């Protein structure tokens, strides 16, 4: 066989070749929606089409991209610098159920009657498992959707419920098993489960270098493993760079920073060097040292999980669309997309 031609030079290989569904979860307050948005942008670059799905009715995606609330309709939210596109959809369980009924049973008017008498509300309320099947079902449908022989979306990013509920949310099969042992809903759950537990899916966990979020991440990884769901990356968000050198941090932790040297520096810079200002600066350094030590412990905990790990910086000015692009670039550089 002739040697294959050299492949064209590509930027950093993605760690997630073959993954079509990226599920993003994280403890409340870790910035999971922001990370989901940045990941969608990162996946779109290179001219890809990416759909980001929101399932908690919070309209967090609209806020993130600074647009009015999303209707139940796929909307283009952003373009990547080289022509890729990010679409978004806020999935509504009731609408999804009607859509599903219409698709499989051509209900039309009967569907509306069901809604009018409260059956749709009832179905999505009493059986949360059903609700999850409908929400994850939308991701399943989007992954498989084709138009003119071509995939509609290259990747789907699912802004999923928080880590505490993620396994139950994705484990639709078990959820539904007690309710429907046979029938179309069961079949649908089986197909979704097949996708969710396949190598086409990766569940990424967003965390901070703080005790509670890392603990929840560790717990969630164990639960996902148990449920045989594919754990993706750990994304450490809002990482701050310490402005002091390691030796200085060590001294600060012990309260042994050179106070006279700091005073001399203040005077050299034309700043006040009275006792209260020096106390304040040294105290802030001690607090930083404490935080850095804690972060070091948490970083070790994260690395012991043995998953690909990416770190995103804390953005001083808050998150706007520009910042999202910056985070997306960071994710690409580290191999997340």
Segment 182 to 211, residues that bind other proteins, using CB under 8 A: 182-186, 210-211
**Nearer Cβ to other proteins, position 73 or 258?**
258
Angstrom distance (rounded) from CA 287 to CA 243: 13
Q: What does the DSSP 8-state code read for residue 26?
A: E
- Check binding of 290 to other proteins (CB under 8 A): yes
Angstrom distance (rounded) from CA 260 to CA 266: 10
- Check binding of 117 to other proteins (CB under 8 A): yes
Distance separating the N- and C-terminal Cα atoms of the chain: 33
The residue count for binding other proteins (CB under 8 A) is 76
Q: Which residue is it, tokens 């810079």? A: 269
- Minimum CB distance to other proteins, residue 198 (Å): 25
**Nearer Cβ to other proteins, position 15 or 210?**
210
Angstrom distance (rounded) from CA 54 to CA 161: 9
Q: Are strands 75-79 and 201-207 parallel, antiparallel or unpaired?
A: unpaired
Angle among Cα 65, 84, 91 to the nearest 5 degrees reads 50
- Enumerate residues 253-272 that contact other proteins by CB under 8 A: 257-258, 261-262, 264-266, 268-272
- Enumerate residues 61-100 that contact other proteins by CB under 8 A: none
Residues 6+ apart with CB under 8 A from 318: none
- Check binding of 162 to other proteins (CB under 8 A): yes
Helix, strand and coil content of the chain, in percent to the nearest 5, comes to: 50, 15, 35
- Pick the binder of other proteins from 21, 23, 24, 27 (CB under 8 A): 27
- Minimum CB distance to other proteins, residue 32 (Å): 11
**Nearer Cβ to other proteins, position 72 or 105?**
105
- Enumerate residues 228-247 that contact other proteins by CB under 8 A: 240, 242-245
Binding mask 35-64 for other proteins (x = CB under 8 A): ---------------------xxx------
Q: Do 163 and 27 form a contact (C-beta atoms < 8 A)?
A: yes
- Check binding of 148 to other proteins (CB under 8 A): no
**Nearer Cβ to other proteins, position 75 or 259?**
259
Q: Which residue is it, tokens 């717990």? A: 219
């Amino acid at each position: 066989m002739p040697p294959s031609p050299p492949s064209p030079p590509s930027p950093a290989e993605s760690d997630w070749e073959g993954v079509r569904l990226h599920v993003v979860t994280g403890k409340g307050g870790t910035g999971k929606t922001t990370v989901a948005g940045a990941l969608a942008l990162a996946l779109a670059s290179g001219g890809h089409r990416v759909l980001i799905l929101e399932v908690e009715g919070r309209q967090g995606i609209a806020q993130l991209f600074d647009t009015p609330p999303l209707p139940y309709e796929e909307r283009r939210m952003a373009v990547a610098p080289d022509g890729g596109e990010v679409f978004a959809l806020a999935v509504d369980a009731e609408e999804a159920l009607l859509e599903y009924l219409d698709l499989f049973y051509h209900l039309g008017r009967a569907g509306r009657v069901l809604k009018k008498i409260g059956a749709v509300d009832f179905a999505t309320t009493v059986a949360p498992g059903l609700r999850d099947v409908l929400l994850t079902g939308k991701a399943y449908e989007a992954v498989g959707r084709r138009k003119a022989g071509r995939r509609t979306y290259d990747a789907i990013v699912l802004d999923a419920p928080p880590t505490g509920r993620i396994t139950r949310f994705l484990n639709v099969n078990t959820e539904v098993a007690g309710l429907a042992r046979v029938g179309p809903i069961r079949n649908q759950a089986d197909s979704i489960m097949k996708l969710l537990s396949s190598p086409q899916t990766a569940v990424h966990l967003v965390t901070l270098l703080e005790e509670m979020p890392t603990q929840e991440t560790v717990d969630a990884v164990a639960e996902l493993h148990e449920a045989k769901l594919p754990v993706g990356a750990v994304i450490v968000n809002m990482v701050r760079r310490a402005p002091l050198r390691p030796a200085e941090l060590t001294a600060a932790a012990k309260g042994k920073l050179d106070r006279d040297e700091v005073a001399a520096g203040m005077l050299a810079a034309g700043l006040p060097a009275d006792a209260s200002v020096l106390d304040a600066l040294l105290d802030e350094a001690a607090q930083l040292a404490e935080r850095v030590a804690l972060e070091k412990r948490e970083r070790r905990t994260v690395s012991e999980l043995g998953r690909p790990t990416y770190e995103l910086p804390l953005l001083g000015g808050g998150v706007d669309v520009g910042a999202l692009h910056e985070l997306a670039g960071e994710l690409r550089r580290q191999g997340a997309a």
